[in-house]
Amino acid sequence: MRFPRFRSLRTTILWLFVPTISAFILLSGLISYQLAAEQLKENAYTSISNTVSQTSHFINDRLTALFTELNILSQDYDLNMLIKKLQNPDYTLTPEDHVIINSKLNKIYSDYYSIVDTIYVSLNNGQTIFQKKYDYYTTYDYDYIPFSDYDPNSVIVQWKGFQQIDANAASDADSGQYADADRTNEQVTFISMYKFIDSHRMHPDGFILFELKEQFFTDFLASPQIVESGYLMLISPDSDIYFKPVDNRYSLQPDVINKIQLSAAPSGTEEFKSADGVNLVVLYDTIEINKWRIAAVFPRNELLLKIESIKYVTLVSMGIMIICAMIFSIILARLLTQPLIKLTRIVNKIGNGSLKLHFDKELPNEIGVLSRGIQNLILRIEDLLVQVENKQIQVKNAEFKVLQAQIQPHFLYNTLYSIRQLCDMGLANDASKMVQAMSNYYRISISRGIEIITIQEELEHIENYLYIQHMRYGDDFDYEIDVDPALYPYKILKLTLQPLLENALYHGVKQHRKKGKIRVTGAFHRGQIQFQVIDNGVGMSAERLAEISQCLENPESEHSQVGYGVRNVQMRLRMQYGPHCGLSYASEPNQGTCVTVIIYQQE
């Protein structure tokens, strides 16, 4: 992946930092929202499920206790003895019978006053009735109490769902009218729990009935707050009962109620759509004693309202964090790049050639280290420039002195004298060649002030010099130039080889009686350019060789034992190519001398 190139470091930091931290904020926010939403949804379902389960268990416990009381009353000794007495047509109830039975009913009524609304005991085909209720009395007949499937050999509790009883249609204990006229037009809702008292196989001797208060169920099924439109309801084989007003949009369809009622699982969760297309969630549990279902019904979207609010809070929070990240990035980029911008301006001034700069000494951290490093570097550059300037002055002086040495009057006089002799002898052609060689010699020596020339030009220079000397001294010496032509294009300091040839001629060959020979070679050697000036002259002693070698190590010394021409060449080579280049001597007495010149390869 290739990142785009920006013009400034600040833009680069902002481009990299802001999208990266924004991506991390978005990713972490989305993950946090997802986890929180799932946790809230799970907690909501768990809370509603616990509410349904606890309500179911509580109602089951209370109904089980009441069922136990009903069962105990049906087997009460006094009640069964009264049934046997009533089987005699001539038996008449006594006040004592009423007191005994009513005391038992009062005991149950007082113990379960919060649940039981009416206790009704019918004996002897409805001819003898005991009833406990403070508000009003009513009568029940066997048409209301089904007996068709009753098994007299088993203990069975018959459950009847809520009944709506019109107060105007009810009768009192004797005349069939309500004793309390104020309850006219009132609709009363009950749950009936009853049990037959059986003495004969074909027909029961009577029954005991408990009417349960609607308020008991309302207190537990209407008060829990699930969601705004949620509610609890009872589902029984007889009916489905709501305990608070329910919008038709959120009511369950009959097929859904039947599915929940007929479900084999004692508890569970179902999702349906209402007639208006609202997604409804039903969490239900079973009252164990009568297999009724307590169901919590609520719209799914209302349960997720809190999750939606968390989503918006998360989005707003992420937006705020991204804005803060952008502001932080801008501040950070400014703090980081401001010192660098100052340093960049200084460096640009350096590039324009100005070294007189002002540095901020209070720049922080690594930037301050870099600034101080550049400042020290500039100081060193200034020192080096002074040194280079001094070296250049020295080189110019050395070159000037070399030129002065080359243009010595006696060399010029001797050459002109030789040319005159050739003319006197009638050798005009040789004189012309000698004049041409002298002209080329001085042309290259001066070379319009150019210090670096090609090796080919340097070889032409020494060849002119050797030709002039050979013409002057005749057959006293011969010379040979054997240089690899591949070296011709490379550069060399001018007047490098000529002083060495002059020494070889005057201090070597001319001091020897036999015919002298000077040989110049040049070739590549281990990545360097190497020349050798070899003569067969008188050579030198080991002591003299050591003096020369020591003087070449320190050519600037004023007490040098080497001629100025050689020292000048050594100094110039060291300054141009470095301390590992320069001259080296090898010599033995009467065996000649070999001077080696090493320079780096130049293109």
Q: pLDDT value at position 332?
A: 78
Q: What is the CA radius of gyration of the chain?
A: 64
Residues contacting residue 312 through CB under 8 Å, at least 6 positions apart: none
Q: pLDDT value at position 510?
A: 82
Q: pLDDT value at position 173?
A: 33
Cross-sheet strand order for the sheet of 187-197: 128-132, 116-123, 206-213, 187-197, 158-166
Distance of CA 256 to the CA centre of its chain: 50
Q: Which fold has domain 407-600?
A: Heat Shock Protein 90 (3.30.565)
388-407 pLDDT, tens digit each: 777 777 766 665 555 455 44
Residues of the chain under the 50 pLDDT cut: 1, 3, 136-137, 142-144, 153-155, 166-186, 403, 406-407, 602-603
Q: pLDDT value at position 349?
A: 66
295 DSSP β-pair partners: 233, 284
SS3 call for 73: helix
Q: pLDDT value at position 367?
A: 67
DSSP, residue by residue, 89-147: TT----HHHHHHHHHHHHHHHHHTTTTEEEEEEEETTTTEEEEE-SS------TTTS--
Which uninterrupted H or E stretch holds 465? helix 455-473
Neighbours of 208 (CB within 10 A): 24
* Residues 237/238/242/246 CA torsion (nearest 10 deg): 90
User: What is the distance between the alpha carbons of residues 312 and 41, in angstroms, rounded to a whole number?
Assistant: 16
Residues contacting residue 296 through CB under 8 Å, at least 6 positions apart: 48, 49, 51, 52, 224, 226, 230, 231, 232, 282, 283, 284
Q: pLDDT value at position 576?
A: 82
User: What is the distance between the alpha carbons of residues 360 and 427, in angstroms, rounded to a whole number?
Assistant: 79
Tokens of 98: 């009423």
User: What is the distance between the alpha carbons of residues 483 and 128, in angstroms, rounded to a whole number?
Assistant: 153
Q: Which of 399, 346, 398 is nearest to 372 (CA)?
A: 346
Cβ atoms of 152 and 204 closer than 8 Å: yes
Q: pLDDT value at position 481?
A: 92
Taking the model in full, what pTM does it have? 0.50
